[in-house]
Structure 1
């Protein structure tokens, strides 16, 4: 299995992808005029991508529970600034294929998908932006295949050096207990049943509006009632929720949850990269209300040299005041400008 996983990172798995794209179709999703959508075959799956613009390629990797759609504002903004912005639905999400088994969601599978996607684009190198799980994936892409990435902007989730002494789920359980959301996601079928009880729309509202600068817990006795009313912030509309829900209703949540269920497997597979550095030029942005910015020790790690030690070409850290986890949606114009201004240096 490990050999198969490593092959997914190699260029040899990708040549058939270049000619496999279905014709582009202009769409108007949620008022997003001018974004085109197509499906490409990468690494043994069909992947949906949304794109707009001409110029240097910027790949945008979403997190949980998101889609290409989380980047809709950046796609328009970057296209207007002279970039070709491309946002895939990652494996397991949206209109991309969703293999059912957690074993198909290791970091080698996911990065392998994206290496294959890059090889379909006709560019030796691309710019990369990641948020949440997309940031984790981007860090790993830059660690495994740095020659593919010209520069990186990562949002919310800082690089986490591999700790050879402790598996990640065990560590999170020791910090927060069994009701911590990552721990609750581990047992197949259990959290899916809770999400089904609440309904897809409510589950998405609960996640996307979470703004507490601290850990997220999903109690075993139930994560509220199906009748809970969740007010939306100004940056998130009922139309947005409707689009997200339409896709998660189709795919379910299992593919997305399998990323979390692969955390300990990833820890095992990446043992050869213990102590490795990320040597791609990087900018890191986080909101000061982001739950990830309040993990014990993380602020000192980010701001007092720890992150720079592992990311020696870290150009800048931006901590945005009064901003939560879904930073690219909450502050779309500011994030687009940060991305554009950094990439234009190259």
Structure 2
């Protein structure tokens, strides 16, 4: 960890925080989800760098040590595409592999679909190919966290009952389960957390403190806007086609698989309509945070895939 270098890169007037380790022409750019940050990729960055790649992870705008846009309420998921392209250009990276987790998968695939000349391949964890739009939210239970967090003010009020560290603890614990966090009619998502539930064994108090320190700087304002409050907004992208090689890594116990239609979408072959050159790997007992839960397994699959692209 001490060999990871930190800097800031300016993209469209915003200073974005970048973490980097390794060197060479073959670069891997890691894209976090929520409630994550660049630090979520700590295991993968070191493994990839040791395998001879240049590993880069950054905080999306409004997250962690990156600056917020002036009008966060006008931001959407496609703004994150600008973050990726801006980072790649500023660091003089030629055709990286993009690795996206959770909502980070969405801009990764958009870049690959709209700018195939800019990427070598795409790896995603926990979320398959999907675009922002009504279809992304239409089958979700009304009490699911995605729906609950869409109403301005509600999540802020819910989160406001706790300090930042407790919020991260609560979300990490809830989202490590195999069921979608769904609140009842008179509940909010934080009400689902049982204080007697310990942190997952693969997530230490040190990890929690690191996450909390970064979210104390950024807060949750932008995170609630992007992705949650803009996930259902039509992207305007029609007939997307991802022609580059891709890999999807899913934990068998990932609650995302319980989303209506998701398991069938992945396993029926419908997903390959959009991403024809796709490999899918399931990790037994893996949760939504499979890359932190089973880092050695995930690292093996990522590096194996990277080496295939390099050869």
Q: Same fold (TM over 0.5)?
A: yes
Structure 1 partner of 2:34: 64
Q: Deviations over 1:237-276 (max 9, x none)?
A: 00110111111122211111111111233x1xx23x2222
Gaps of 5+ in 1: 1-31
Contact 1:162 1:275 in 2 (8 A): no
Which of the numbers 276, 284, 287 marks the counterpart of 1:312? 276
The Cα of 1:342 is off from its aligned counterpart by 0.5
Q: Is 1:50 matched with 2:19?
A: yes
How far apart in 2 are the matches of 1:284 and 1:104? Answer: 31
**Whose radius of gyration is greater, 1 or 2?**
1
Structure 2 partner of 1:34: 3
Q: Is 1:338 matched with 2:301?
A: yes
The Cα of 1:39 is off from its aligned counterpart by 0.4
SS at 2:160's partner residue?
helix
The Cα of 1:96 is off from its aligned counterpart by 0.2
Report the RMSD for the aligned CA atoms in angstroms. Answer: 1.9
How far apart in 1 are the matches of 2:83 and 2:247? Answer: 24
Which stretches of structure 1, 4 residues or longer, exceed 6 Å deviation after superposition? none
Moved more, 331-340 or 81-90: 331-340
Contact 1:58 1:128 in 2 (8 A): yes
Structure 2 partner of 1:213: 178
Q: Structure 2 vs 1, CA of residues 75 and 262 (structure 1 numbering), >3 Å: closer, same or farther?
A: same
SS at 2:216's partner residue?
helix
Q: Deviations over 1:167-214 (max 9, x none)?
A: 544x14xx411x211111112222112112022222211221223322
Structure 2 partner of 1:111: 81
Count of aligned positions: 304
Contact 2:17 2:59 in 1 (8 A): yes
How far apart in 1 are the matches of 2:6 and 2:303? Answer: 22
Structure 2 partner of 1:262: 230
| 1:1-346 equivalence runs, <5 A | 32-55=1-24, 56-99=26-69, 101-160=71-130, 166=134, 168-169=136-137, 171-172=138-139, 175-177=140-142, 179-209=143-173, 210-219=175-184, 220-222=186-188, 223-224=190-191, 228-259=195-226, 260-265=228-233, 267=234, 270-271=235-236, 273-314=237-278, 316-346=279-309
How far apart in 1 are the matches of 2:198 and 2:98? Answer: 33
SS at 1:213's partner residue?
coil
How far apart in 1 are the matches of 2:273 and 2:178? Answer: 26
Q: Structure 2 vs 1, CA of residues 187 and 72 (structure 1 numbering), >3 Å: closer, same or farther?
A: same
How far apart in 2 are the matches of 1:147 and 1:136? Answer: 18
Contact 2:37 2:211 in 1 (8 A): yes
Q: Structure 2 vs 1, CA of residues 237 and 277 (structure 1 numbering), >3 Å: closer, same or farther?
A: same
TM-score normalised to structure 1 length: 0.83
The Cα of 1:104 is off from its aligned counterpart by 4.1
Moved more, 292-301 or 227-236: 227-236
SS at 2:301's partner residue?
helix
How far apart in 2 are the matches of 1:218 and 1:252? Answer: 23
